[in-house]
Amino acid sequence: MTAKYNFEANDFSRRDALTLAGAASFAFATSHYGLSSAFAGLSQREKALHIRLPDQLATQTPKIEGKLPNNLRGTYYKNGPALRQGFKRTYPHSFDGDGFIQAFRFDGQTVQHQGQFVHTEKYNAESKAGDYFVETFSHKWAGSPPARSADETNTANTNIVHHGNRLMALWEAGSAWQVDPDNLDSMTKLVWHDDLAMAPFSAHPRIDDDGSLWNFGQVQWSQEMILYHINPQGKLHKYKLLDMPNTSMIHDFAITEKSIILMLPPLTWELDKAKNNASFLNAHEWHENRPVEILVINKNDLSVVRRHQLPNAFHFHIGGAFETVDGTIELDLYHYKNADIVFNLYLNNDEKDHSQSPTRPQHSRVTLSPNIYDGKIERIHNMSNEFPHMAPSSNSHRSQHGWSIGLDMETGLFRYALGVNLETGKVDRYDYGADCMLEEHIFVADQDRPVINGVTQGWLIGLHLDVQQSQTKLAVLDAYDLAAGPQAVVTLPYGLPPGLHGNFVMAS
């Protein structure tokens, strides 16, 4: 183990430092949640993002059109911010809401659905108060007391991951919350080690070929990053602190057979702005003349072994990554020309001009050659898309196929389910229609069918909101024939606000 973790911040009290740590996650929660609607007109945004939910949605068996695959068995868990019924206040970024977990349970013939908020410290404190009062990344309520720890502002609203026999609701800047997989009750905050209590544990972990889990946590105020390696049984194997002088917004990272790849866009947290009582969002500055910095880290000892640069850009998501025998690294990147998307997510026209559309995300291939400082980036196809998901592949093999959701350039809504052959760039797509707002779609492997020609068979599943009918639906498509349309559509009797990330857990 490394030396004891130090939560004290230079020039800040411990209380102020942890307050800022808690705010850190909101930048990513809002940016992700907003990606499903930030490109759309205000009316569509309001229909989706102002939906308020009760503490629980009771288990029900929703309507199914078409026929579910008999061997689609397991639970699709989904997480995302939601506003609460009974509260008068609304965040300037409605995406700042508390984490709301959904479970779609498939038995091969029917689906059951339920939902529940994660009962974090923030959620419980505001339940007692009867309204929102905890400051968020973009807003400080008048009279709100400063948070004493990051977990007082932890919303657990960004991802939900099953690992080591645990179901974890994740956020960027605080503890993972363990959730009961059967009834979605909140159980406990996870402490990986006594020295890491309340330390940031990010929301996009990567699970390795051996079943272990890698993750990071940013500590902006002390300009450090924690790297975590959790064994397959869910116990901390090792961790290390890295010096991180440019504390960029980082949501995602990549792993290969040998390496961890961290990409640092030039959107940095500035101490002077934070000291001047700026919100966490407004304490960040975009540096249009700086490159993207890339760190390649050895998995064995967690040391930085290489550094690279790419031209100035911003990104949220990385797809898959692969490292050749000679050390060349290839990865799929979904990037923007700048960080305007982060600052384009306000719902209130008095605070933000919605007529200015953010830059469009592009799917590109990044190549990092050993001993060459500058990386190469080439666009794979011409559609604008986000929320990547790759076909199952070991870290020692290239992923041959990937999926994402594509943007309708006229309506500003994510409208298309996309499948991409990563070798040829050929795109297969299904058009949901102009009145649908898509969420992340994920690949689910068919456990009963063999791999065919090295390709794992399976389905693409994902949620969308029918804006006109105000209903949330889940579609099941053949992952390699999206153009054929859904095999089945599950329709809920109500609309839910767009969520962020989710994962499928196979039935045992």
As annotated, the binding site for Fe cation includes 204, 251, 317, 501
* Helix (H) or strand (E) run with residue 24 in it: helix 14-35
CA–CA gap between residue 502 and residue 462 (Å, rounded): 9
Strands 471-478 and 458-466: antiparallel
Token code pair at residue 464: 């969308």
198: left (phi over 0), alpha (psi -120 to 50) or beta: left
Q: Indicate the residue type of 270.
A: E
Q: Using the CB atoms, write b or e for 177-211: b if 16+ within 10 Å.
A: bbbebeebebeebbebbebbebbbbbbbbbbbeee
CA–CA gap between residue 208 and residue 253 (Å, rounded): 13
* Helix (H) or strand (E) run with residue 170 in it: strand 166-170
List Cα–Cα distances, 339 to 137, 253, 265, 332, in angstroms.
Answer: 16, 18, 9, 19
Q: Output phi, psi for 109, to 5 deg.
A: -130, -40
Chain-centroid distance, C-alpha 338? 19
Strands 73-84 and 52-53: parallel
DSSP per position, 331-368: EEEEEESSSGGGGS--S-TTTS-TTSPPPPPEEEEEEE
CA–CA gap between residue 177 and residue 174 (Å, rounded): 9
- 32 and 500 in contact (C-beta within 8 Å)? yes
254: left (phi over 0), alpha (psi -120 to 50) or beta: beta
Radius of gyration of the chain (CA): 21
- The closest alpha carbon to 281, from 141, 144, 136, belongs to 136
Token code pair at residue 386: 């986000």
Residue list for the binding site: 204, 251, 317, 501
Q: Using the CB atoms, write b or e for 414-452: b if 16+ within 10 Å.
A: bbbbbbbebeeeebbbbebeeebbbbbbbbbbbeeeeee
- The closest alpha carbon to 351, from 101, 65, 27, 91, belongs to 91
